Amino acid sequence: MNRKSNKYKIILSGGGTGGHIYPAIAIANELKSRFPDAEFLFVGAKDRMEMEKVPQAGYDIEGLWISGIQRKLTLKNLVFPFKVISSLWKARKIVKSFKPDVAIGTGGFASGPLLHVAASNNIPSLIQEQNSYPGITNKLLAKKAKKICVAYDGLERFFPQDKIIKTGNPVRKGLLDIDTKTFEAKDFFKLKHGMPTLLVIGGSLGSRRINQLIEKELDFFDTQNVQIIWQCGKLYYQQYKIYNHTKNVQVHEFLNNIDFAYAAADLIVSRAGASSVSELCIVGKPVVFIPSPNVAEDHQTKNAMAIVEKSAALIIKEEDLDADFENKFSQLVKSPEKQKELGDNIKKLALVNATNEIADEVEKLLKTSK
């Protein structure tokens, strides 16, 4: 494609969790490399982690007063209609002022008002759905979107088939070459070379149940001669930081150098959010998935089972952790053959060109918008 200098204006929205934020940043970074003169603006939800993470990645962001509707009756739901009206009003103001050539949504509360307003102003929009079961925001936006990039088969149940393109989920570029970083990564975390390293990631905000498990099993890990990089999350750091540097344990609120964390790891315990699963396929290390049961349609279990059924990971449901974790984990630690099998098989499932392919679709929309 002809990539002459273009003053494109690209607006992106996605947030609430890292699973929506990092795909948006990955897409923006790829587009920036193609169009260095383009202007970028992110739109997020006020007081959510995107308001911190997006500026750290070098992009401007505007915040909307928006949050999800609660599934149970709560006073917060009484405020929801006012939040929607406020967000639509501010989104109109942002779109009118910024005049984007294309709008990109990666899910989360804020992408709803922003992409609705963009489509209503005839700005071509693309949505990227990470999960095997779409969130309500993307389901509502699909009708007006020009393109819908997905990571799983079978999404024509929810989206118009002629708009769907299976690309996989965007991942951070630093993950594509982690095999070359192992030695450097172990030194970065001051780990012992030759001692198995367990990486624990419970999502960007942290997982209460996984944190409880790791705390309970610290003596067990010691008997297994395992050192631990434990990302406990922002919500839980104050509670668990007391274990930092005890029994070969490092406790982190958040891992900004996630590529080094993956490179240093020999084994990984993780939630099964869509972005995490996509990253772990590229990383190619043995994984024990502990899916969150508290998500729509139990999609984390479905995400994990899609990997487990290919002999590419292990799964332990939250309700089985106390009965099964020690046995399954010790068997895995003691079997280099099983570790290699899982690592090799999960790597076969990686869709490594997702970010490029999504950027290609955005580029097509940009060409038609000018």
Same domain? For 163 and 37 the reply is yes
Concatenating the DSSP letter of every residue in 97-158 gives HH--SEEEE-SSTTHHHHHHHHHHTT--EEEEE-SSS--HHHHHHTTT-SEEEESSTTGGGT
Letter for the amino acid at 274?
A
pLDDT beyond 70 at 370: no
Whether 313 maps to a domain, the answer reads yes
Whether 116 maps to a domain, the answer reads yes
Residue with tokens 């088939």: 161
Same domain? For 127 and 254 the reply is no
Whether 341 maps to a domain, the answer reads yes
Same domain? For 210 and 328 the reply is yes
Confidence of residue 344 (pLDDT cuts 50, 70, 90): very high
Containing structural domain, residue 15:
9-169+352-369
Contacts of 89 (CB under 8 A, 6+ apart): none
* pLDDT (tens digit per residue) in 106-161: 988 889 999 999 999 999 999 999 888 888 888 989 999 999 999 988 899 999 99
**Total-model pTM:** 0.83
Please, what is the average pLDDT of the chain?
90
C-alpha count within 13 angstroms, C-beta hemisphere, residue 261: 21
Same domain? For 225 and 101 the reply is no
Q: Which residues of 102-119 are buried (b: 16+ CB within 10 A; e: fewer)?
A: bbbbbbbbbbbbbbbbbb
* pLDDT (tens digit per residue) in 57-87: 999 999 888 766 555 566 666 676 777 788 8
Nearest to 59 by CA among 34, 83, 26: 26
CATH code where residue 204 lies: 3.40.50.2000
Same domain? For 152 and 194 the reply is no
Across residues 273-296, what is the average pLDDT? 92
Model pLDDT, residue 6:
56
Whether 238 maps to a domain, the answer reads yes
Q: Provide the angle, in degrees to the nearest 10, between the axes of the packed helices 354-369 and 18-34.
A: 60
Same domain? For 217 and 70 the reply is no
Residue with tokens 């003053």: 7
* The residue count for the chain: 370
Same domain? For 139 and 269 the reply is no
User: What is the distance of C-alpha 255 from the center of its chain?
Assistant: 13
Same domain? For 165 and 298 the reply is no
Nearest to 112 by CA among 10, 50, 44: 44
User: What is the distance of C-alpha 210 from the center of its chain?
Assistant: 18
